[in-house]
Amino acid sequence: DQQVKQNSPSLSVQEGRISILNCDYTNSMFDYFLWYKKYPAEGPTFLISISSIKDKNEDGRFTVFLNKSAKHLSLHIVPSQPGDSAVYFCAASVPSGTYKYIFGTGTRLKVLA
Amino acid sequence: DVKVTQSSRYLVKRTGEKVFLECVQDMDHENMFWYRQDPGLGLRLIYFSYDVKMKEKGDIPEGYSVSREKKERFSLILESASTNQTSMYLCASSLHGTGGGGKLFFGSGTQLSVL
């Protein structure tokens, strides 16, 4: 049972436009949500996170929005750059004591120059 | 910067072999994790450890074991490799447990092929 879902396996966006990556989850007990970026042949790197008590977190070109009632979060990248082309994973952390992160299946973003 | 180092980038093993994947982190992190990444399945947790000699099963522990004799080192062991264990293996570490947004720091991965 996939608790964290990324329903779009791929997304193509023109350089300079907005990229929106989506993630849905089923467990209302998740307390933190994180986004990771992964280039080929490299490990994932942390991008941005949001606590379940917030609805928005911004860091430069990256903004994460959380809609708890819909159990949905999204990552906005504005403006998109060719270097943003990568696979993006959303992850949710299980409340403390279990040390677990649940990852989605990933969305491959391609930013076209 | 945190560095998580996995000993091999590519490994080719035969069915039935015992396989050791090694991971070392240099930031004195308490928590270490082993994930595998497969197309369409994302990252799935195999085992994690929150202290020396302590370990917990993740979501897919079958066919794997782990060892953590020193804080900086976390080893994944495939007791008898099978073809369905062909995958990208990712080691990670974190300073805090989850429930505080503790970030995971990943190694570059080991692509294991079992023939």
pLDDT digits (tens, 9 = 90+) for A43-94: 999 999 999 999 999 999 999 999 999 999 999 999 999 999 999 999 998 7
> Where do the DSSP E strands lie in A26-69?
32-38, 45-51, 56-59, 62-67
Q: Which two tokens stand for residue B43?
A: 């990252």
Task: Give the DSSP letter of residue A53.
Answer: T
Would an 8 Å CB–CB cutoff place B99 in contact with chain A?
Answer: yes
What is the percentage of chain B residues whose pLDDT exceeds 70? 92
B48 close to A (CB below 8 A): yes
DSSP, res B102: P
Q: What is the pLDDT of residue B99?
A: 47
pLDDT digits (tens, 9 = 90+) for A6-45: 999 999 999 999 999 999 999 888 888 999 999 988 899 9
Identify whether the C-beta of residue A108 lies closer than 8 Å to the C-beta of residue A10.
Answer: yes
Contact A41 B99 (CB under 8 A): no
What is the identity of the amino acid at A63? T
pLDDT tens sequence across B34-51: 999 998 888 999 999 988
Q: What is the pLDDT of residues B89-114, one digit of tens each?
A: 999 998 765 445 668 899 999 999 99
pLDDT tier at A96, thresholds 50, 70, 90: low
pLDDT higher than threshold 80 for residue B1: no
Closest CA to B73 of B25, B4, B7: B25
Asked if B107 contacts B8 with a C-beta cutoff of 8 angstroms, the reply is no
Interface test with B, best of A101, A102, A108 (most B CBs within 10 A): A101
Residues sharing a CB contact under 8 Å with residue A69, sequence separation 6 or more, in sequence order: none
A97 pLDDT more than 50: yes
Instruction: Name the band, by pLDDT with cuts 50, 70 and 90, for residue A99.
Output: low
Ramachandran angles phi, psi of A33, nearest 5°: -125, 140
Q: In the predicted model, what is the mean pLDDT of residues B75-79?
A: 97
